[in-house]
């Protein structure tokens, strides 16, 4: 069995389904986790699905993924726009990194249109609501296959 795909979520994503549903949708974080598990399972992988509001915890999980994961799918939420610490942790990884966002960043406020995470990520999936996570899992599996080929 391959190492799991880490799906890491940043601040306020625990409020999915409640916070600004007109932007982020009505799907809850638990439902997103179930979608990720199902999609990864269909592709032969498991997921470690986590959410934190604490920047240092997110950094710790990224560092853990260095040796424990096949790939990282990360929705850094607000930390994507502010955290050099998360970027530096991601830059230490040699496994695929897929950045994931529910909303389409290019259509949001100017401060949300760029992320530090993008500087370390292999790719970005954004704007498809909860489906963004499923697409990000698919992209991660594809990148894992390319890395091992």
Identify whether the C-beta of residue 99 lies closer than 8 Å to the C-beta of residue 121: yes
Is 101 an annotated catalytic residue?
A: yes
Q: Which of 6, 79, 101, 133 is catalytic?
A: 101
Chain centroid to CA 113: how far?
A: 16
Is 24 an annotated catalytic residue?
A: yes
Identify whether the C-beta of residue 21 lies closer than 8 Å to the C-beta of residue 83: no
Q: Which of 24, 45, 116, 133 is catalytic?
A: 24
Which 3 state secondary structure label does DSSP give 93? Answer: coil
Residue 121 token pair:
């990520």
Active site (catalytic) residues: 24, 101
């Amino acid at each position: 069995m391959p190492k799991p795909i880490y799906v890491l979520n940043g601040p306020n994503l625990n409020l999915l389904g409640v916070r600004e549903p007109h932007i982020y949708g009505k799907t809850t974080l638990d439902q997103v986790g179930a979608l990720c598990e199902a999609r990864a399972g269909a592709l032969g992988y498991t997921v470690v699905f986590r959410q934190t509001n604490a920047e240092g915890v997110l950094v710790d999980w990224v560092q853990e993924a260095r040796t424990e994961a096949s790939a990282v799918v990360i929705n850094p939420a607000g930390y994507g726009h502010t955290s050099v610490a998360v970027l530096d942790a991601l830059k230490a990884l040699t496994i695929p990194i897929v950045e994931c966002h529910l909303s389409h960043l290019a259509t949001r406020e100017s401060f949300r249109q760029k992320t530090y995470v993008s500087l370390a990520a292999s790719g970005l999936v954004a704007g498809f609501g909860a489906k963004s996570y499923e697409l990000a899992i698919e992209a991660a599996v594809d990148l894992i296959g390319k890395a091992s080929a």
